[in-house]
Amino acid sequence: WDKEWMTKGQCLLRLAAEIPGVMIIPMPDYRPKYPKVDPQEAINPNHPNLTIWGNKIEVALFIGIHCHYANLALRMIRMGTNCLTIAFCHDIHEDAMLSAQDLDVPKFSHIISIFRKVRKELGIKLPADGKTISLTGTQSHANQGEKSLSPLACLAEAGEGSA
């Protein structure tokens, strides 16, 4: 594991802590399992709209995805859904509605502070238990029936603190 990517993963969990009801669904950089891909388990890079529709996703953030798959998925989502798309990547993706390039920890922290400020301005409350990550049915089954998780508790459990 690369230390820089571990730190960015921790930043992503801190960002998730600011967004009530956020879902984290992976999109693998390989050909999906056919004939059926469970849209609650993973985003099919060839049909991302199925996951968007199936999970009623309004905003999708793409981070750490190979550009070829991101470009294809972003284009399909933009053309076939009403989902707002955001890309955090090395490249600027023209099919993302918002794209941020070359994020390091200070830039990520700045983005987190913007999300926090906007959430507070809109009066969006965080759950008292800190469980902002909503799990899909498949994820819930894998987590002993839990319906949601606290990203900061996940960080603390990993020994990374919650700051």
pLDDT number for residue 129? 95
User: Which amino acid is residue 48, in one-letter code?
Assistant: P
Helix (H) and strand (E) counts in the chain: 6, 5
Q: Produce one character per residue of 112-146: b if its CB has 16 or more CB atoms within 10 Å, e if not.
A: beeebeeeeeeeeebeeebbbbbbbeebbeeeeee
| Domain extents in the chain | 3-157
pLDDT number for residue 125? 94
Q: Is the pTM of this model over 0.85?
A: no
The string of pLDDT tens digits covering residues 68-119 is 778 888 888 888 888 888 888 887 888 888 888 888 889 999 999 999 999 9
